[in-house]
Amino acid sequence: MKDIFLDTITHLASNNDVLGLTKMRKIFEGLIANDICFDDVSLIELTELIDEIISVTNANKLPVKIDTLPIYKLIKDN
């Protein structure tokens, strides 16, 4: 699941799709609120990654190189 989520987030980030990222974040919030989890990935960390991408995208108005973000590296390496 982790790779699917990261691929989707990467695709949305590379297209500056803040709306899509926001929708994905809301889905993750709902899963977290209902105590739904996955063995290979932390939904909280993915939510933090999305927050960071949105913040950088809004500040720079450019696509984010997601693989340069420390939290991405943390999630990918675990």
Q: How many domains does the chain have?
A: 1
> Averaged over 37-60, what is the pLDDT?
92
Predicted TM-score of the model (pTM): 0.89
Residue span of the structural domain in which 24 resides? 2-77
Does 44 have pLDDT greater than 90? yes
Supply the pLDDT for residue 78. 81
Give the whole-angstrom CA distance, residue 3 versus residue 49.
14
Mean pLDDT, rounded, of the chain? 92
Give the whole-angstrom CA distance, residue 18 versus residue 20.
5
Does 62 have pLDDT greater than 90? no
